[in-house]
Amino acid sequence: MNTIIGYARVSSDDQDCTVQEEALRAAGCTIVRSEKKSGTTTEGRQELDTLLSFVRTGDTLMVTRIDRLARSVADLEKIVAALKAKGAYLRATEQPIDTSTPAGLAFLQMLGVFAQFETAIRKERQMEGIARAKANGVYKGRKASVDVAAVRTMRDGGIGPSDIAKRLGIGRASVYRALAV
């Protein structure tokens, strides 16, 4: 028996997978898994790993859109290769993607390129915005998490970097960075 398995993903905790989950169930998915993780990498996406290990010959992994699965061509190719090695397929509810057909596979590859491009453009815009904010004195970065004065006082008192790190609950590298300032 071939199973249609759904995968839903959003990037942040303040987002919700409900709309995707409902669309996947409406498309015939008997199993739907979801998670709140960035799509820029497959690292740490346990639900995706579970589905990829669970999928069997003839099964279909279904997503609503390809960007819910991967935001890089390399990750997308890796996922499709894993599915192909198991004799399984990939489909999307909102895009004409079906890796069981040559046209569906070609369309998938084109969308993968655009998803990666979109991520790169978004990152570029974000860096431009940060640079502009810094130039205007608006952006100052995140607040310091290490009390440099406390680190120096402890060092001047003869306490070593490892002990300073333990006492302040910070990493030893942070101690060295604080001392270098």
Q: Which residues pair with 4 in a beta bridge?
A: 60
Q: Kindly report the CA angle at 2 between 5 and 81, in degrees rounded to 5? A: 65
Count of helices and strands (H, E) across the chain:
7, 4
Residue 144 has which token pair?
A: 């310091």
**Sequence-separated (6 or more) residues with CB below 8 Å from residue 90:** 60, 61, 62, 63, 69, 79, 80, 83, 97, 98, 99, 108
174 is catalytic: no
Q: Decide: 86 and 28 in contact? Cβ < 8 Å.
A: no
- Round to whole Å and give the CA distance between 167 and 157: 13
Catalytic sites, residue numbers: 11
